[in-house]
Amino acid sequence: MNIPTTARKPRIVRPGEGRSYDMGRMRAEFHADGEETAERYSLSEWWLQPHTGGPGAHAHDDDHIYYVLAGTLNLHIDGEPADAPRGSYALIPGGTPHDFENRGAEVCGFICINTPAGFERKMPQLVEWFAENPLGDASDG
């Protein structure tokens, strides 16, 4: 069997070892980025405080894959609202307008895989943007 070799090394990222980004009522922690994945994907956790609104409808070139860890993630994908409780999976193809928020009374968390990688390089600018544009309260639905 021919198995291609790569420069990538096996890696374990333990709790607290990721790169954290504080955005007020939302925070992200990146566990893998393009440099570590040969630009194939990035992997991050996102956490929203209770009753926290989202960033507003936006789109990216990369695919977003969400897996909800805690609470219920309230999504708008291509204009359609949907609730994604703990254990839900959502695929947001590149170019698809989307938004998310936490309308619940509990913290909401989700894993996000971006493919291809590159989204993680925008995080310093996003932290600055959210410092100037703090997240508000979630909508009523």
Q: Give per-residue pLDDT as tens, 83-100.
A: 999 999 999 999 999 999
Residue 19: the pLDDT is 95
What percent of the chain has pLDDT above 70? Answer: 94
Q: Is the pLDDT of residue 1 over 60?
A: no
Q: What is the mean pLDDT of residues 126-138?
A: 95
Considering the segment(s) 19-115 as one domain, its CATH architecture is Sandwich (2.60)
Q: Is the pLDDT of residue 3 over 70?
A: no
Residue 139: the pLDDT is 86
- Cα(6)–Cα(61) distance, integer angstroms: 26
The pLDDT tens digits of the residues spanning 27-77 come to 999 999 999 999 999 999 999 999 999 999 999 999 999 999 999 999 999
Q: Is the pLDDT of residue 5 over 60?
A: no
Q: What is the mean pLDDT of residues 106-121?
A: 97
> What single string gives the DSSP state of each residue in the chain?
------S-------TT-SEEEE-SSEEEEEEE-TTTTTTS-EEEEEEE-TTB--S-SB--SSEEEEEEEESEEEEEETTEEEEEETT-EEEE-TT--EEEEB-SSS-EEEEEEEESS-GGGGHHHHHHHHHHS---BPP--
**pLDDT band for position 9 (cuts 50, 70, 90):** confident
